[in-house]
Amino acid sequence: VTDIAFIAKNVVLIDGGKMISCASQSELCNEIYGKVWEVLTDYETGMELMRTKRVSNVISKDDRFNVRVVSDEKPHPDAVNVQPALEDVCIYHFGEIGE
């Protein structure tokens, strides 16, 4: 996805052979604005989020984990909204919970 984000002017999303969207990266990201969250949490909570939510990224920070979640609703009390990226768009449309 990062290669596409670098070179593509417009992105076509296809699901089951059917085009679901064709737009610029910024337009696609704006479509899911308010649905991407990050939460800095402990290992156990991070693992629970990965099992139960659509997670687009996890970064280890010392003994904590920064978990990026794509969700219509706030996934954790400490979660904060962040700017969507193209990877988040793909997770929103195609990712499965616990993947």
For residues 12-30, give the mean pLDDT. Answer: 92
Count of structural domains, the chain: 1
Structural domain includes residue 34 = yes
Share of the chain above pLDDT 90, in %: 75
Residue 7's pLDDT band, with cuts at 50, 70 and 90, is confident
Structural domain includes residue 70 = yes
Q: In this model, does residue 69 exceed pLDDT 70?
A: yes
* C-alpha–C-alpha distance, residues 53 and 99, integer Å: 9
Q: What is the mean pLDDT of the chain?
A: 91
- The pair of structure tokens assigned to 56 is 């687009």
Domain limits for position 72: 2-94
Distance of CA 85 to the CA centre of its chain: 7
Residue 5's pLDDT band, with cuts at 50, 70 and 90, is low
